[in-house]
Each structure stands twice: as structure tokens, then as C-alpha cells.
Amino acid sequence: MKHTDVIVIGSGLAGLTAALASARQGKSVTLLSYGSSSLSLNSGLIDFLGYDDSHKAVKSPREGIMGLPETHPYSKIGMEEIAEAVDFFRDFAKEYHMPYHGSLDKQILVPTAVGTLKPTCLAPHSLAGSESLEGKKKIVVAGIRGLKDFYADIMVENLKKSLGDDLAYETIEIETPLTGGRDITTLDVARWLDTPEGVDSFSKQLLAYKGKKDTAVIVPQVLGTKGHACYLTVSSRIETDIVETTGLPPSTNGLRLNAMFRQALRDNNVEIVENTKVIGSKCEGKACKCVIAEAGVREKTYTADKYILATGGFYSGGITMRSFDQPEEPIFHLPVYSVKGEENWSNEQLFSDKPQGYAKTGIMTDETLRPVDEQGQHVLENVFVVGRDLGGYDLCFEHSGNGVALASGYKAAKM
Amino acid sequence: MEKATVVVVGGGATGVGILRDLAMRGVDVMLVEKQDLVNGASSRYHGLLHSGGRYAVKDQEAAKECIIENTILRKIGKSCVEASGGMFICLDIDREQDPTYEEQWVQGCKDSGIEARQISLDEAFRLEPLLSRHVVSAYLVPDAAIDGFRMSWQNVDSAKRYGGRLKTYTEVIGVITENGTVKGVKVRDYFSGEEYEIACDILVNAAGGWAGELAQLAGLEVGVQPDKGTLLAFNQRLTSHVVNRLHKSSDGDIFVPHGSITILGTTSMSVPSAEDTSTAREEVEKLMSIGEKTFEHLRDCRMLRAFAGSRPLYIPPGGSLGRGASRGFAIVDHEKQDGLKGMFTIVGGKFTTYRLMAEKMADAVAAKLGNTEPCRTAEEPLVPEVSEADKKAARKYFPAYGTDLAATRLGPERFARVTETLKNNPEKRELLCECENVTVGEVEEMAKELSSFRINDIRRRTRLGMGTCQANFCALRSASVFARVGRDEGAKDSLGQMKEFLQGRWKGIRPVLLGRTIRETEMTRALYELSFNVNGHRIGGDKE
């Protein structure tokens, strides 16, 4: 039974951040990971707060966060730590060759694969849509022949509503050598663009727009899997702004971010244990002594001074619910907050101006991110809760998931 | 003014059955439906092709009709029926409650002509390993699963070959009468709101749960009690047979496997209007707790959704309601009953006997018209089968398991066209819906049909979005394809179509929003609300 200073359970954005931030403070860290993490389903854009409780667009996330209720995770984390987390992330991203742009004071608008615009705070340059689209007179949407889930013509129809139909629009189709087999994903094309031949061919097909300062080229998320290297190469060859969109999974940008984190964790000697599902724990009084994990057919225990729970809420099985009104946290059996009653659990409309009640289910903590019971008393002193496991917010409604993940992961590491 | 000799109102199984039957007899007939086909009880049920076993004790007349029609439908609607076979299981609690029921049931099956073969418990558990070990006896019967959507569309396709006409999204808002005789109907187009008249000599009210309301438009009264049944769909095949409890018919005691899912049903509850297709948490709980008796680990299975529909129970004066009411059907000749010439109402019955009901109704209509052609709906298949040779030739263009599925969904003519499309345009072989194995080529074929106004119309005909992911991936794709090739102007609003499609899925997901279902919902919202911001406002506060 190996002992480290910190054990992080879960390798989504919150877990990765907690592990990296802990390691950078000189702690020995074990990261227990089950499955391939949620990053392939994550845009890798760091939204902090896109919409307020009445669904009004938030112009300044910093101001929006100040106005949130006490029960919101951001209120527990505090503005100072949130701002530190942003700096921490930006420094790390720059060091690992995929600098992120943006700040807590305004929104970047990223074009999506359906032609709407999505607000976010921090984005790599290739996805920093509004920064590149500003002042353009012409938009070229470049599809890829045979690529699944990218419909350039439909995107243009909707872009006209988002960006205005006074701009000129054009669609083109890029040819690749990937057609003729199974369905092609953005990841296939991105891997092709990791090769010199791929970048050559791709850039050549965009030469018609070379040097056109009033034009931006919008492409699906295909500009390589390795940081922003491919983006830089293509941009410098065509000398025109090129912008990626969000899209259906697999998310190339989420995988870029994942690769970057994994590299940084290895560089900081974090022990990553894959395919390990934590199924329980042993606690004495208010202290967790070890966690128990299923590794293949065996059970293994891991011990640490401090445990960070980043198991992803309902989304990743970190919270389960077999019967109505009875959510459970299966590892530490922490008290789980949820709204009660059928009428509060969900809205009649899937998309509306109200958050979904069920989505606020999660674990309540104090300002140190330690779990508390209904009376606000600590349940366990050496367990910290981060990311989607936290209660009191609907991330899809308010566009805040990666922001909470990043800020809570960072803060938990400091505690 | 448009004209048809006979106008049939209601695009459920009964209505399409009458459309086909009359068209085959050479009658000029038109069906009008206010929504898409099978929007009522004909699809909102468990999709069970009854052997009659369920009625063997209570109503042997119904049981006999069921087994005869079951045999006919297997023959004429091969590609709609999954001949899974059925199992009746008696639990220890069932036997305790009524020790004599099993014996009565065995005798009832025998008397009704239903082959019920007792099997050993070992055999039962071998066939259905997930069954509760509280089973004390088991029988095999010729139950089957049937696809209500497909069966109904195939009736229409068949009717069209004989000149039958169909108008969907056309609501009857008035019945035109003159001197005690029906002259036609006034209708409204659902999308444009346009109102116009259709002249007819005979009006057939086959509006199911809405039959009472339609009768009122003609100033008549028909006693129809909508009786809501709620069902749950699970994301896997829990069984390979239809599994029924061998006890007095009750709520939530039938499991029907369909393709890759299982449907558990059903409840019985009088509701004021057939429009009420809501599901309350209480109903879900009730179904789960009964279902758990048959499959004890049911709560660990992911539910896809809940849905509900209303049986149109016919209430003759002084009749009873609910499960006690007759599942039989009634034909009312309003000339005899109310002195209004040229109008009939057909109500009640069950999906399994829809063809027989249509035959009886068409007999009555034909008699009025002096038409002496015999009914041929029991002999002629709904659609010709796709030949093995055609399927074989198509295999290299379809996804691995997709050829047979596409052939049963499409029928020979459309299948040939889609095969040709896939052959000539390899990019159309792309899977638009992985869960149900539907290619872009097939979706385009259906999207182009004049009866496709919404993605949901395409869904009912292709099964797009009905599987594991509940439209997470195909909502974007189908909205984009529909915007590209759809003939209706409304198809171009890709975001609106996408949202409407997802909202339709949400309606069924919402009542079963437990842990495993929430995972999928979180995915839907993360993709469409977060990544695509379809619910978004523009910065500055303007709504998109």
C-alpha cells in the first residue's frame, strides 16, 4: 500500500487541475483515473459564467460571479482564488505551447458547428472566434469532404443570423486522402494535419484567401492534435485569420488540453493510475484512511493525507440515484444536496430561461471545499470536493462548468 | 372543392386499415389526420401483437379474434412483426392470490384456440435468465412484437397503390350537413392555418380517443372514455420473449422486447382528454415496483423514456370504465342511431384486431355505397417483400447490420432507391443514427417525402433518435440533412427543428430522470446547450 501526500480521484478537468496544482506545490500526488476521462467530450474552452440566473447574457464574468448566491461553488471558492486559478492555467498553457487568450472581464464568442456563437472566457487562439472575426467583411466556411458532423451550408445560414447578413459568405470543401473508408471524424483530420503532408495540402487548398485581411476562414476543430503548432503553421502560410468551431465529440481541443495536462503531470512526477475505479473508502471519525479501488479483478487500497474528489457528478457516475429524491455519493457516502419533489426536479422545456433543478444536485462544502452536512458541519476533514461533484449550480444553463472545475481544482490543491 | 366518396378521420391503426380496405375495394377514399400518423394509441402502447392469452379468461371472444388476427398479421405484415414468441409466468404471489386462475387460463387458451405449452422452470430460466426465481410455472404462447409506426405506414403505402389518399396535419374542425345528410368536412392545415372544405358522401369517424369530440362537431354524442396507459422503455433487451404475468390482467405486468429495447406496460387511468400524454413520477414508481416482481434487478437498468397514450374505451349507456370496460370495439351507424345520414363512428378495440375492425367498418360503408367487392386485406401482404437477392446485392453499401433493418423499414421500392443512392454516392453511406443503423441516404429518402414536415415525422419512419442516445448525435445531423433536402419550407429552420426534436425526446426522458438517465441528459445539454449554445442569447441581451 503506497502512501502519497495527495490522492486525486477522477481525471476530468477538475481532477487534472487539482493534481497539477498539488504537484507544483511540492506534494507527492497519485491520480486515480477510470475510463478515458471526459476531456474528449469537453470543448476545452474555459467558460466562467455565460448567463445569469434569469438567463441574461453576462458581459463580465467577474461581475457576474460577484452577484451569485452564497450556495454557488464560486462563492465558496472566492474571487481571489478564481483569479489566481486563471493565472495558473494561463501560465501552464503557455508553458506547454497552447496559450489561452481572454480574461474574466469579457466574453470571447466562439462560432459553433451549428452557426451560433458561444460565450467563453479563455480560449486557445484557434478558437478565440470573436477576436479573429472582428471587423471582417467576408467569412469563408471550409468543410472537409466526407467529414461527419460538419454541415458548412447549414452553418452559414445560421451564421448570417449571428454575425449579420451584411457580410459576404462562402463555403468551400477541402479534400483529404481520408475518404473511401469508414466515417471520418475531426480527430482523423486533425491527425492528418499533424503530418507535414497534411499541413501542406490543407494550406494549399486555402491559398485563394492568402493575405486577405478582411477575410476569416472558419474550419471544424481539425488544426492538429498537438497544442497550437498546426494553427501557427497554417496561419503563417495563408496569412489570413483562421478560426475553429466547437463540434460534436470527439473534441479535438479537449484532447489537446488533456494531452497537455498529462505531459505536465508526468513532468511533475504525478503517479497516474489508469483503469482504476474507486468503489469505497475507510474512514475513522472525520478522517479518511484509505480509498478502495477495483483494478481489474483485484481490489487495491490507496492512502494519502488528503483526498480530492473529482468524480464528475451524475455525468460520470460520481453521484448516482436509483430512486427519486435519493441521490448518493458512492465513495465516501457524503451527504448530497438536491431539490426535492417532482415539480422542482426538472423544467417542462429542455431549453428555457430557468435552470434545471436536478442539475443543482451535488455535495455542499464550506469555503475550504470540505464537504458539510445540512447543519454546515464538516463530515470529513481531509476530503475536498471539486468540479461537477459540487452542488448548487447548473453548469449547462449558466455556462460555468470548466470555470468551476478549474477554480475548485486549484483551490482544493492549496488547502 | 376537394372531394372524396369517403372521408376517414383519424390516422391511427383503425383509420389506415379502413383506408386500405376501402381503397382495395375500389372506393374513392381519403384519410385526414390532425397530426402525423399514429399519434395516438396506435403507437403509444407496448407494441404487443397479442396471442389472445391475455384475454383467455375474461373475454374469450376477444381472445379468439386476437389469435386469428395475430396469424393474419404475421403473414401480411412480415416486416412489421418480430416473432419473438411470448411467455406467461406465474409467480408464487400470483398463485397464492388466486390458486385456481392458472387452471382457468389453461382451459381458456384451449377453448380459444391459443396454443399454450407449459415448459419446465429450468427451460424458462434458460430462455429468460433474468427472470425472478419466484416463478412457479411458465407457458409459451404465440405473442409477438409489432411496430405500430411501420404497420400503419405500410397500410397507407398499400392503400396508395389502389388510389387511397392521405392528408396529415389536417384537422377536422367542422362537419358539413344538409337536411340530415353529411356533405363534407371543414378542415384546417396545422402549419399554414388555412381552412378549407372537403366534400364527401360518407364520413367515418375513426378518431380513437378523439372520437367523442369529432362526433360533437356533427352535433352527436358518442361515449368514449380516454383511458391513459403509461409505459416505460428500457435501454436493452431484458427478455427475448414477450413476458406476461399469469394472473388476472393488471397494471404493469407485460414486458415486450423491440429491437434493442424493452417496453414495460401499462397502467390504466381515466383522463379527461386523449391529449393528455403526460407521465407522473407516481406512475413510473408504480410500473417499476410491479415490474420488479418479474425482473428483480430492474432498477439497475437504464430507462430511456416514459410515454403514454389513451385507449379509446367505448362506453355504451350504463357501461363501466377502466380495466373492467370492454376491450372490444363498436360500430355506430349514425343514420340508425341519430338520424344523420352518411356518418359512422368506429371506436374501441385494440391494435391486434385493427384489420378486423377495418373490415367490419368497410363492409358497412360498402353496403351503403352498393359496392359488392369482397374484403381482401387478409390475403394480400401490406408491402411486397424485399427479395433476398436484392438484399444480398445491397449488403456492400449498407452498414454491417443495417441491410435487413433498412429493408424492413423501407419496403422494396424505397429500398431499391436507397440502395442505388448508396451505391453511387459513397458519402451517403455515412451513419446518421448509429443507435438504429440509419444511413444518410435513408434519412434523405424519408426527408424528401411530402409527408415529412418535422424531424419527428422522419423519426417515426426510420427509428432515427429512438435508441440509446435519444438523439444526442442525430439531432444535429438530421436537422442539417432535413434543411438541405426537405421539401417543406419549415425544414429550413434547422435550429428550430433541432430544438423541437430534442424537446420531443425530453418529454419522455423527464419523468424517468434518475441517475443513469441523467448521465445521458447531461450529455445532451452539454452538447446542445453548452457547445452549440442553442438556448443562447446574443451578447447585449438579444435573444437569438
Q: For residue A26, give how far its alpha carbon lies from the nearest alpha carbon of chain B (Å).
A: 35
CA dihedral A299, A300, A304, A308 (to 10 degrees): -50
The answer on B349 and B478 residing in a single domain is no
**Does the residue B403 lie in any domain?**
no
The answer on B132 and B165 residing in a single domain is no
Helices (H) and strands (E) in chain B, counts: 17, 24
The answer to whether the CB of A62 falls within 8 A of the CB of A122 is no
Interface of B with A in 19-78 (CB under 8 A): none
Q: Do B536 and A57 touch (CB under 8 A)?
A: yes
The answer on B245 and B132 residing in a single domain is yes
What is the distance between the alpha carbons of residues A280 and A277, in angstroms, rounded to a whole number? 9
Tally of structural domains, chain B: 3
Helix, strand and coil percent figures for chain B, each rounded to 5: 40, 20, 35
Candidates B430, B484, B532; nearest CB to A246: B532
Q: Do A119 and B536 touch (CB under 8 A)?
A: yes
> Can you tell me the mean pLDDT for A85-109?
97
**DSSP letter, residue B209:** G
The answer on B209 and B342 residing in a single domain is yes
The answer on B527 and B434 residing in a single domain is yes
Q: How far is CA B472 from the centre of its chain?
A: 23
Q: Write the CB contacts of B541 (distance below 8 Å, at least 6 apart in sequence).
A: A56, A57
What's B121-179 look like in SS3? HHHHHHHCCCCCCCEEEEEEECCEEECHHHHHHHHHHHHHHCCCEEECCEEEEEEEEEC
What is the distance between the alpha carbons of residues B536 and B177, in angstroms, rounded to a whole number? 51
**Does the residue B402 lie in any domain?**
no
Residue A404 contacts B, CB cutoff 8 Å: no
**DSSP letter, residue B91:** E
What is the ipTM score, two decimals? 0.96
The answer to whether the CB of A240 falls within 8 A of the CB of A216 is yes
The string of DSSP codes covering B9-57 is E--SHHHHHHHHHHHHTT--EEEE-SSSTT-STTTSS--EE--SGGGTT
| Residue B531, pLDDT score | 94
| Residue A255, pLDDT score | 97
Q: Write the CB contacts of A332 (distance below 8 Å, at least 6 apart in sequence).
A: A281, A283, A288, A309, A371, A379, A380, A383
Q: For residue A2, give how far its alpha carbon lies from the nearest alpha carbon of chain B (Å).
A: 33
Q: Closest Cα partner for A190 from A252, A250, A240?
A: A252
What is the distance between the alpha carbons of residues B233 and B467, in angstroms, rounded to a whole number? 10
Residue at grid coordinates 399519434: B39
The answer to whether the CB of B36 falls within 8 A of the CB of B11 is yes
CA dihedral A326, A328, A334, A338 (to 10 degrees): -50
pLDDT tens by residue, B259-306: 889 999 999 899 999 999 999 999 999 999 999 999 999 999 999 999
**Does the residue B248 lie in any domain?**
yes
Cis preceding-peptide flag for B266 (omega within 30 of 0): yes
| Residue B252, pLDDT score | 85
**pLDDT(A71) > 50:** yes
Residue A311 contacts B, CB cutoff 8 Å: no
The answer on B157 and B29 residing in a single domain is yes
Beta strands B144-146; B269-270: pairing state: unpaired
| Residue B317, pLDDT score | 62
The answer to whether the CB of B134 falls within 8 A of the CB of B293 is yes
Low-confidence ranges of chain B (pLDDT < 50): 539-544
Residue B105 contacts A, CB cutoff 8 Å: no
| Residue A35, pLDDT score | 86
Cis preceding-peptide flag for A99 (omega within 30 of 0): no
Q: Chain B partners of A123 at a C-beta cutoff of 8 Å?
A: none
Residue B400 contacts A, CB cutoff 8 Å: no
What is the distance between the alpha carbons of residues A203 and A238, in angstroms, rounded to a whole number? 7
Rg (CA), chain A: 22
| Residue A104, pLDDT score | 98
Which phi and psi (to 5°) does residue A344 adopt? -95, -15
Question: A3-98+256-414 and A113-245 share one CATH topology?
Answer: no
Q: Do A322 and B518 touch (CB under 8 A)?
A: no
Q: List the beta bridge partners of residue B409.
A: none
Interface of B with A in 401-420 (CB under 8 A): none
What is the distance between the alpha carbons of residues A411 and A85, in angstroms, rounded to a whole number? 8
Helices (H) and strands (E) in chain A, counts: 14, 15
The answer on B244 and B205 residing in a single domain is no
Q: Which domain holds residue B450?
A: 430-531
CA dihedral A284, A285, A289, A295 (to 10 degrees): 70
Residue at grid coordinates 384456440: B113
Of B310, B336, B355, the residue that ends a domain is B310
**Does the residue B396 lie in any domain?**
no
Q: Chain A partners of B426 at a C-beta cutoff of 8 Å?
A: 179-180
Residue at grid coordinates 432535413: B482
The answer to whether the CB of A89 falls within 8 A of the CB of A24 is no
The string of DSSP codes covering A86-123 is HHHHHHHHHHTT-PEE--TTS-EEEEBTTS-EEEESBE
**Does the residue B63 lie in any domain?**
no
Of B310, B336, B352, the residue that ends a domain is B310
Candidates B492, B530, B537; nearest CB to A55: B537
Q: Do A247 and B531 touch (CB under 8 A)?
A: yes
What's B346-402 look like in SS3? EEECCHHHHHHHHHHHHHHHHHHHCCCCCCCCCCCCCCCCCCHHHHHHHCCCCCCCH
**Does the residue B348 lie in any domain?**
yes
Return the CATH number at B297.
Answer: 3.30.9.10
Candidates A118, A161, A321; nearest CB to B533: A118
The answer on B233 and B123 residing in a single domain is yes
The answer to whether the CB of A176 falls within 8 A of the CB of A132 is no
The answer on B333 and B218 residing in a single domain is yes
The answer on B132 and B109 residing in a single domain is yes
Fold of A3-98+256-414: FAD/NAD(P)-binding domain (3.50.50)
| Residue B318, pLDDT score | 63
Joined grid coordinates for residue A70: 452564497
The answer on B257 and B299 residing in a single domain is yes
The answer on B344 and B298 residing in a single domain is no
- A182 pLDDT band, cuts 50/70/90, is confident
What is the distance between the alpha carbons of residues B172 and B422, in angstroms, rounded to a whole number? 40
- Kindly list the domain boundaries of chain A, sorted by start residue: 3-98+256-414, 113-245
A160 to chain B: nearest residue by CA? Answer: B544
Q: For residue B189, give how far its alpha carbon lies from the nearest alpha carbon of chain A (Å).
A: 25
| Residue B123, pLDDT score | 98
The number of C-beta contacts closer than 8 angstroms across A and B is: 158
Residue at grid coordinates 443512392: B421
Residue A317 contacts B, CB cutoff 8 Å: yes
Q: Do B483 and A320 touch (CB under 8 A)?
A: no
| Residue A36, pLDDT score | 83
pLDDT tens by residue, B327-353: 689 999 999 999 999 999 999 999 999
Q: What is the mean pLDDT of chain A?
A: 96
Residue at grid coordinates 414495460: B264
The string of DSSP codes covering A180-243 is TSS-B-HHHHHHHHTSHHHHHHHHHTTGGGTT-TTEEEEE-S-S-SSTTHHHHHHHHHH-SEEE
Kindly report the CATH number that applies to the domain delimited by A113-245: 3.40.50
**Does the residue B64 lie in any domain?**
no
Q: Write the CB contacts of A340 (distance below 8 Å, at least 6 apart in sequence).
A: A325
| Residue A180, pLDDT score | 79
Q: Closest Cα partner for B402 from B470, B472, B467, B483?
A: B467
**Does the residue B416 lie in any domain?**
no
What is the distance between the alpha carbons of residues A149 and A250, in angstroms, rounded to a whole number? 11
Q: Chain A partners of B498 at a C-beta cutoff of 8 Å?
A: 114
Q: From its phi and psi, is residue B314 left (phi > 0), alpha (psi between -120 and 50) or beta? A: beta
Residue at grid coordinates 454575425: A163
| Residue B326, pLDDT score | 61
What is the distance between the alpha carbons of residues A240 and A206, in angstroms, rounded to a whole number? 9
Task: Count Cβ atoms below 10 Å from residue A361 Cβ, excluding itself.
Answer: 23
Joined grid coordinates for residue B527: 452538447
| Residue B527, pLDDT score | 95
Q: Closest Cα partner for B249 from B233, B229, B232?
A: B229
